[in-house]
Structure 1
Amino acid sequence: MKKPKEQTLRVEILAEKLLNNTITTEEFKELEAWYAEVSEKPAVWDLTDANTVLLQQRIFDPIKNHVSTTRETRKLWQYISIAASILLICSAGLWIWQSENQKDDVIAKIQTSTSGKIIKVYLPDQSIVWLKGNSRLDYPSKFSDSTRNVTLHGEALFEVAKDKRHPFVIQAGKYVTRVLGTSFNINENQINKTFRLTVFTGKVAVFSSSVDRKNKTTSPIIVTPGNEFAVLNPSVTPRVIAAPSTEKAEMFYGTEYDMNFENVGFNEVKQRIEKKFNILINADSDKYSYCTISADVTDQSLESTLKVICSALDIKYSINKDQITLTGGGCN
């Protein structure tokens, strides 16, 4: 077991490695384990908060209560505070390093066979991807402990399962996209050298995958709902613009992503939920045939969708593998 001074020095070294983006996967786990040891609450590694100062307080205040403020630890807090501020960038750099040095156990290299055809893919974390045109998605049989990494060639609409502890990272062409749980469309065209990332919900960070060998990482661009990161001409600087509203319906076409119901009959709602999640819903059709539903469950998990719909009609539900049974409630 390391002495307190040796432990402080070790963590200080790991913090500096995190800053320089030279930290290995095992060292990153060691740093996380150290946080778990000295803090009652798990470290918050993402930068979703608008106020970075408040974020740093939430991360470090619980830990400071357990560590004496010697000269070495004060220096350590300086390192880690800065590390937290740029963690979003570092984590992308770490992913790029991992992708260059490790081989994922890929179980799927799916490619559409007909132009215009759309294929729905369920990932190991319950995320849903609609592949469009002649596209391919590579993904592992099981995501790693730290990140959920996939590679896209072409175009796809992503509905990523929410998981703040395990960022979802997509390599597409010359860009890396990083999210925690949101929905968006990526269209990457290698022939025309174009790239478009259109965000529907949540925040998305996009980076150039060309790592600066001196600085190790590039600055992220944050894209918010209703906007898109567009590279329409390789010779022009990429920019974030308002996404054309007329193109949203085109991006949704052929998918079950849009689940916004306005006075829609129960049977249609039931069929759309079954189709999206590949399940079977057992319900008394006579009991619910006169029910209409107004609810927006777009970008929601199966369970969240069921909670909203069933709450509106005072229905109880039970889940058994891929079968849902509804009881109670009704509109007759």
Structure 2
Amino acid sequence: MDELRQTYLIKKYIDGTATQAEREELLLWYRQKGIDDNSWPYLSELDEAEAKERIFKGVKRQVSDTPSARGRTGTLFYKIAVAASVIGAVCCFVLWRFAQKEVAPALITISTRAGETKTLQLTDGSVIWLSAKSTLTYPASFKGPTRDVAFSGEAFFDIAKDKQHPFIVSTGSTSTRVLGTSFNISALKENDNVTVALITGKVSFTGSKTAVSLLPNNQVVYNKATKEARVMPIADIDAVVGRHNGYYEYKNIPSKDVAEDLGRLYGMNIKVVGNVQNCTFYGRIKPGESPVKFLKKMAFVLNASVTTKDSVWIIKGGGCNLK
């Protein structure tokens, strides 16, 4: 059981919202592993006090509402004993937390706006290049058996090797698990697919209905709606690697998709109208190159025109230039 799952189950147990199956899973883990290396799910005494109060009221109500408890002193005493044991378990968790004098590592969230990129180095030595309109949430320091982060958007990951502590990237309904490798993830909220392209190492990808392993130079494309995953070779490794260095290459890409990508990367509002939407485009924009100049070149290649009004760039035309 990874650390996020442990914390989730402990918190639900204390809140009194855990199902019978979740309580049994937590009990099994506790028997096998103990709780010495786990982080406490509450970050303040107030949270803990509120949790204890909720579970106490819930158990008290359970006892008073049980028909077998009314008028049967022995049963009532038994119910009270059960209630006391549950509350005692909560108190043991609280005492353990203060004895450890350890608070779960603070979570840090880094986001980028349209037209903005950032490079991060985590405490384990991993380096992550965040593309525009992306968000990464990670702990200030990694503790426990796994290194867990949450992510949305697009980023290139170069993960430090640590065979004892897998690195797990969660993107909503999917997770990517590695020991030490480099890969690119595209998990934009507005896109239908999550794509993981592996450059070096090995990756285990898990979705709602599927689990696959990737080898270098391959990618998995996961459809959010159908929950299906397809594994295929990466058509252009250099194009994938180049993106985090500011080289954006498009080969046989629909013009509207190119416009959407450029708009996110450069913080521009670009619209493609008319038959030119059906055209595909080949082209490359380099670091430092003017995106406006690139748009004009793109319009020329597609036999279209480009105009601007109220900060909106419009590409329109009658069709594609087949020459």
Question: Does TM-score exceed 0.5, indicating one fold?
Answer: no
What is the TM-score of this pair, normalised by structure 1? Answer: 0.42
Computing the radius of gyration over CA atoms, which structure comes out larger, 1 or 2?
Answer: 2
What is the TM-score of this pair, normalised by structure 2? Answer: 0.44
